[in-house]
Amino acid sequence: MSDSEIDRSGSDLGPYHLVRLLGRGGMGVVYEASDARLGRTVALKILRPEVVGDPERRARFDREAKALAALQHPGIVTIHSFETIGEDTFFTMELVHGPTLDQVMRDEGAMSVARILEIGIPVTDALAAAHKRGIAHRDIKPENIILGPQGQVTVLDFGLAKLAGPALESSVESMGATASMDATIEGRIIGTIHYMAPEQAQGGDTTPTTDVFSLGVVFYEMATGLNPFPGETTVSKLSSIIKDDPQPIREHNQQVPVELERLIRRCLEKDPDRRWQNALDVRNELELLQQELANPANSPRVVESQRGGLGGRLFLTMSILALVGLGIGFAIGVLLMNIGTGLEREQMASSWVGPPQCVSVSGPRDHEIVRAQISPDGRTLAMITRATTEDAEGLAETLPGDRQFLHLRSLDSFESRLIEDSQRILTGEFSPDGRSYIFVRLPSEDNLPAKLMRLELGTGMPPVQIGVIPLSLVGYQSIDEDNRGFTWLDKTTLAFVTQAPFKVLTVDAKTGDEVTRIELDYDREFQPSALYAPIDEQTFLLGVNYYDERGYMQDVLWVDATTGAAGLVIESAPTAEVVLGNQLLFTKGSTLYRSGFDPVTRTATGSAIPVFAGLRTSNSWTSGGFDVARNGTVVHLPGGLQGSSRTIWTMDGADVVPQRLDHPERAFEEWVSVSADGNQVLLTHTNDNNAMWDLWAGTIDPPRIRRIQSFPNRDIHSSVLSRDGSLAAAQITTTQPTRSSQLVVFDPTSTGRPLRELDGRDGGRWLMPYDIHPDNDRVVYGDRDEGGATEALFEIGLEEGAQPRQLLGGVATHQNARWSPDGRLLAWTSNESGLFEALVATHGPDGLGRVVPVSAGLAQRVGWTVSEDGVTRLHYFANNVEFLREVRTDDGTISLGPIVTTGRTLGDDAFYSDLDQQGGLVYIRKGLNEAPVTRVELISGFFTSDDDQPAE
């Protein structure tokens, strides 16, 4: 249990005695405490460690706390001190007694106009004082307003406040740009959903007008006992806030004067510019209305409202019902949303829900979103994210996955929480009951197994390791490539699919122990690509790919984890989920479709009906990913079809500024090879007609490329050019008639034919060509298992009957081999030490000589150049940051110059690059629509539990 979860009542914190626990929040824990020095009772809030975990965040928080402490107003809780004692950082503040406004509303029901003004004027006066100082509260709600025993009104919890403008810059030392609490605090609620302004709901900036909107919601509830924006689900509530106008107040309570209704309606304008601009404007209007009340002759409408006021107990029942859905915690509302009453379920079964509602949710600051998931109960959003950085030097030192994290976000909260010990997360899944999240964490060294971590949601506890698994079990190739992951079968069992020969492996979800291992039985050669949610406690869905006469195909199968039996669910759709037991959601391209689903035959039924488009794909040949909760709420990343508009870029040997070449945008893949003179280029491309990889070749000047190799049922890819551009090598992969990989050579200057096979493998092996010797007489290539766990380096001559010779093997991965310009040295990358690093050795008839490390850390690709004065240099890249070293040989002994940073850095939008012999760099850049994702789309309103096929 973390320190923040322990009740420390009865203990001392410096001069403070912690009397009793008052509550817990996103920022920390609050105690009633006695101050022995001053003999007074205070509220003491101990901040969570992550709130002030590093010096920069602590300094920013300190500045903002001082600014908040400077607010002196009888209606604002006074902050006494901001202190650190030992490992505890906390602040003390005035302890205020009395019921909250939501408790009073529960007792009184809809309030009279006089009562609304009695409370509303001091609330707006307190907020006006904050707004004058440029501070927005951001969480105005009845629970944050206390009514004292003598009638005093106090606004609580300015701890969520944001410095909304430059007004504080003169009074807060060394602020520079405007600071904000939300830049400091992770994991807290920034506003409460029922009182959110539209700009908050959409992740926009918050200003004093945001508070004005929240005030309008509070006033509306005080006047009617109802929330102005009804909604049974989180998504429908947010959608209503963003697009719906509230019903007129006088339809619920005719005694409310037109003047007050107009005032509240202006508070609730969607456009911030059309609202009252700050709380001072609202206070002035309320005071004017109060003055009219004091002079009945001048305000007959108001007098009539007072005479016929609907206060007291008349609306007590209505208020309680509203509070069940709104005020007693959002969890109840979500629970009702997902479970529903029998009547609600019956009503759902009778008709198709519509129209759909869509809400965009922002991801965590300074992170792009790699994957988004929603818990089965619809309460929690999980985001696997990647931290963004502009620090090239620091980037070069990070390991693969170091920037990848898990964030969770409750859907009644408006900031995500970074999960402790989630760095290097690869994939993860919610348990069927939504109470747990298990994820796979990359090891710190490449030759170690991955960690299987389990997080219990709602406990505040960090995740714990329950076991280890080989990375091949989830189909890991690299941090940038999709993996097939795993799924839950029930709340105690996980399911994985192994590499070939394919087996279904079940694992205990609490201990990480293997339970069963059963051969997967299906009557077609295929490659598993992704595991999806189960359709019952022994059957899950499996995405597969294969080749046939139609091209590259992707289907979804059902797999019985107890027998290994498998069958087709839907063809030509790589992603699918079963919803409500009888409906199937699936994707083709960037469009989501729905159809019926027969749980007996486990197949799609009826016609496919498009639901919506715009799902983000990972490239041009896959389909969009999504996740769905039991209630039918869908989450996906926006962006549409990716990978079809990529461009070719270059940097010459002396320039660090990239230049786009004039070749048209195309669906280029990550392989590119360039000749020694820098003018001939060979690329892998996705064929629009059948999704097969084919090869294109041409010149940089003039900018011309054309297709030279293409097959209807085989991929040809991973191609390399010889130094003079007269020869090329590539890999061919297929599953027809069997799964196989071939290493071939061909002439890239003609039509590319005839091809000649140098080596071939059946089963789960990949033959990756890396380089052609400068004498054009041999090829160096890798023999990799499909799981990527090991890769040996071979060379083979081009003469007839030549046999491959192994250069490097063992349990490590050796790859990216390149011969030096004179052919006497071979450089490559290897993770034999636990980290991919660049190595070099002499090369001759007897193989490799003594191996010499080149990089001082991570290295992912290598290439050779020759300087103007004839010095051979070895370049290597670490996370797209380029380094080089001079390499000399004397009587077979290798000597290295110092490591030099070239100043050239390729961004995250760059694919695989290649060097010409002068140092010119050619690479593929992603399309503009492949920019990092910073938001998640949530869509609801499509699905019912109807036993029949959904209505068209």
Q: Which positions are annotated as active-site residues? A: 139
Number of separate helices (H) and strands (E) present in the chain: 14, 60
Query: What residue type is 920 in one-letter code?
Result: G
φ and ψ at 848, to 5 degrees?
Answer: -95, 145
Q: Residues 679, 680, 684, 687: is their CA dihedral positive or negative?
A: positive
Query: Hunting for tokens 């004082």 — which residue is that?
Result: 129
Please provide the size of the chain in residues: 952
Residue 549, judged by CB atoms within 10 A of its CB (0-12, 13-18, 19+), counts as exposed
Q: 319: part of which helix (H) or strand (E)? A: helix 316-325
213/272 Cα distance (integer angstroms): 8
613 Cα distance to chain centroid: 20
Give the 3-state secondary structure percentages of the chain, helix then strand then coil, rounded to 5. Answer: 20, 40, 40
Q: Copy the structure tokens of residue 540.
A: 């899950």
Q: At 768, is the secondary structure helix, strand, or coil? A: strand
Contact 633, 378 (CB under 8 A): yes
Residues 6+ apart with CB under 8 A from 730: 695, 709, 716, 717, 718, 719, 720, 743, 744, 745, 746, 769
Identify which of 408, 352, 420, 346 has the alpha carbon closest to the alpha carbon of residue 382: 408
Token reading at 936: 């998640």
Dihedral sign for Cα 394, 395, 396, 399, please: positive
Here the tokens at position 568 are 């087709």
The span from the CA of 766 to the CA of 668, in Å, is 21
**Quick check: 181 and 106 in contact, CB under 8 A?**
no
Q: What is the largest CA-CA distance in the chain?
A: 111
User: 């639901």: which residue's tokens?
Assistant: 611
Separation of alpha carbons 875 and 925, rounded Å: 20
Sign of CA dihedral 13, 16, 21, 23: negative
State how far Cα 407 lies from the chain centre: 7
Q: Which residues pair with 545 in a beta bridge?
A: 527, 554
Hey, how many other C-beta atoms are within 10 angstroms of the C-beta on 532? 22
* C-alpha 188 chain-centroid distance: 18
What's the rounded Cα separation, in Å, for the pair 180 and 178?
7
Contact 546, 527 (CB under 8 A): yes
> Please, is 9 exposed, middle or buried when counting C-beta atoms within 10 Å of its C-beta (0-12, 13-18, 19+)?
middle
Cα distance between residue 135 and residue 181, in whole Å:
11
- Neighbour count for residue 551 (Cβ, 10 Å): 17
Nearest to 777 by CA among 800, 808, 749: 800
